[in-house]
């Protein structure tokens, strides 16, 4: 499909969780496999291991702890990654997320992996939070990222131009090493438009339940809409997890008991979640290019999102959705009310969103761009080896 031949090569993906690989990187793994590569997935293996292995991929369990960056407690994780790399001897390692990038790059240096691809997906808690702990972590992470991404054979993927500038201007990574690939793509056949459901409009937020996803502001906006008498249901769909910014389940239960939002927990049927809603909403503080909004757009749903890196790549103001300032519950409520009361506007924005995804952001296009990066990095290493020889 991509025209790129990876026959005889081994590509190893390192992510924190098996479910994340399946939800965000499975099409890329399939593309590498179809190009002839042996595909290995290293992650904390749980319920999705069997599905990963059913694709013909090798699964390796890595004891990741996603609650933070702690070199002391994560020593076992690093050792497991080094052991896996030495055993598998991959030609390419593809790290996704901050912890896999840091620990995977260290392991790749020790195991002498020829090509390293570091995908910085959204910059995460360390770059978005302003707590003392986050600032302390940044002080150590920034020089580490600069050093780890300076090795020959290393390429960096970001999902938007704001993140590219952060890595060049703040972290100090050479711009020639950075490639912008917009998100992880979306399966435009699995996520397809459906008619709006009947009844009162529903705005659904499909996200991990994290404070920096703007869930607190969304709950406050829902309170304002209820006080105004706006006929709109706000629905929260997604899990809590070990992230330091995770919202305690007791808080989510209290929001639901207050009667201002519906809290449904996680789902594997994201397309169904959008089919049962009229509006997609994500008031995040920062993103790479959010998968949830890509999927909403593919389903033909208009969006309300914050005017921050990542969200504004897919939520184009008055074209595919409405943008509001971050941490601004009143503006968020106003935008949700506007879409709740205007079915024609919802239809126009949703149709535009679907067209944008089909034209530019399908998973096949993202996979082709990523495999081309693999090809270019392999060529550079092989050319350097030939010159040295």
Q: Which residues of 9-38 are buried (b: 16+ CB within 10 A; e: fewer)?
A: bbbbbbbbbbbbbbebbbbbbbbbbebebb
What is the token pair recorded at 12?
């190893």
Cβ 322 vs Cβ 283: under 8 Å: no
Distance CA(115)–CA(93), nearest Å, equals 6
Cβ 329 vs Cβ 217: under 8 Å: yes
Q: What angle do CA 346, 350, 354 make, to 5 degrees?
A: 175
CA 318 to chain centroid, in Å, comes to 24
DSSP string for residues in 136-200: HHHHHHHHHHHHHTTSTTEEEEESSHHHHHIIIIII---GGGEEE--SS-B-TTTS---PPPSSS
What is the token pair recorded at 87?
């055993």
Choose among 159, 278, 293, 276: nearest CA to 214: 293
- Domains annotated on the chain, with CATH: 10-185+362-388 (3.40.50.2000), 202-360 (3.40.50.2000)
Q: Which residues of 231-247 are buried (b: 16+ CB within 10 A; e: fewer)?
A: ebbbbbbbebeebbbbb
Cβ 245 vs Cβ 212: under 8 Å: yes
Cβ 158 vs Cβ 167: under 8 Å: yes
Phi-psi region of 106 (alpha: psi -120 to 50; beta: other; left: phi over 0): alpha
Choose among 156, 90, 177, 170: nearest CA to 127: 170
> Edge-to-edge, what's the strand order for the sheet holding 262-265?
262-265, 233-237, 202-206, 279-282, 303-306, 321-324
Cβ 159 vs Cβ 289: under 8 Å: yes
pLDDT in tens, the chain (389 residues): 467 899 999 999 999 999 999 999 999 999 999 999 999 999 999 999 999 999 999 999 999 986 666 777 789 999 999 999 999 999 999 999 999 999 999 999 999 999 999 999 766 556 656 666 667 767 788 899 999 999 999 999 999 999 999 899 989 999 999 999 998 899 999 999 999 999 999 999 999 999 999 999 999 999 999 999 999 999 999 999 878 889 999 999 999 999 999 999 999 999 999 999 999 999 999 898 999 999 999 999 999 999 999 999 999 999 999 999 999 999 999 999 999 999 999 999 999 999 999 999 999 999 999 999 999 999 999 887 655 44
Looking at residue 134, what is its pLDDT? 62
- The residues, any chain, with a CB within 8 Å of residue 116's CB and separated by 6 or more, are 92, 93, 95, 104, 105, 108, 151, 153, 154, 155
Cβ 162 vs Cβ 313: under 8 Å: no
Reported as half-sphere exposure (CB side, CA atoms, 13 A), residue 277 has a value of 33
In this prediction the pTM is: 0.86
Q: What angle do CA 282, 185, 348 make, to 5 degrees?
A: 55
């Amino acid at each position: 499909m991509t025209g790129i031949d990876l026959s005889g090569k081994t590509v190893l993906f390192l992510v924190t969780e098996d479910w994340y690989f399946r939800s965000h990187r499975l099409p890329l793994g399939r593309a590498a496999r179809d190009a002839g590569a042996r595909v290995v997935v290293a992650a904390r293996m749980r319920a999705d291991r069997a599905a990963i292995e059913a694709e013909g991929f090798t699964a390796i369990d890595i004891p990741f702890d996603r609650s933070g960056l702690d070199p002391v407690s994560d020593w076992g994780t690093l050792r497991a990654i080094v052991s896996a790399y030495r055993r598998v001897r991959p030609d390419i390692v593809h790290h996704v997320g901050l912890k896999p990038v840091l620990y995977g790059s260290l392991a790749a240096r020790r195991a002498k992996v020829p090509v390293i691809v570091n995908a910085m997906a959204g910059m995460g808690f360390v770059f978005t939070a302003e707590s003392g702990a986050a600032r302390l972590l940044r002080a150590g992470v920034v020089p580490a990222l600069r050093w780890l991404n300076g090795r020959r054979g290393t390429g960096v993927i970001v999902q938007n131009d704001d993140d590219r500038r952060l890595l060049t201007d703040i972290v100090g990574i050479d711009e020639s090493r950075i490639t912008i690939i917009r998100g992880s793509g979306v399966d435009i056949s699995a996520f397809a438009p459906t008619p709006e459901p009947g009844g009162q409009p529903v705005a659904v937020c499909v996200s991990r339940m994290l404070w920096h996803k703007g869930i607190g502001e969304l709950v406050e906006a829902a309170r304002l809409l209820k006080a105004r008498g706006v006929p709109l249901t706000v629905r929260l769909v997604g899990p809590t997890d070990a992230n330091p910014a995770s919202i305690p389940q007791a808080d989510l239960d209290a929001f639901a008991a207050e009667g201002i939002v519906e809290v449904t927990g996680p789902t594997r049927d994201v397309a169904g979640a959008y089919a049962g809603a009229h509006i997609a909403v994500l008031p995040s503080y920062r993103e790479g290019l959010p998968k949830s909004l890509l999927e909403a757009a593919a389903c033909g749903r208009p969006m309300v999102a914050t005017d921050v890196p990542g969200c504004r790549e897919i939520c184009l103001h008055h074209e595919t959705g409405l943008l509001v300032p971050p941490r601004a519950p009143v503006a968020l409520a106003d935008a949700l009310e506007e879409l709740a009361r205007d079915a024609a506007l919802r239809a126009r924005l949703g149709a535009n969103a679907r067209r944008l995804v089909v034209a530019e952001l399908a998973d096949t296009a993202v996979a082709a761009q990523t495999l081309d990066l693999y090809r270019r990095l392999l060529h550079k290493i092989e050319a350097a080896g030939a010159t040295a020889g």
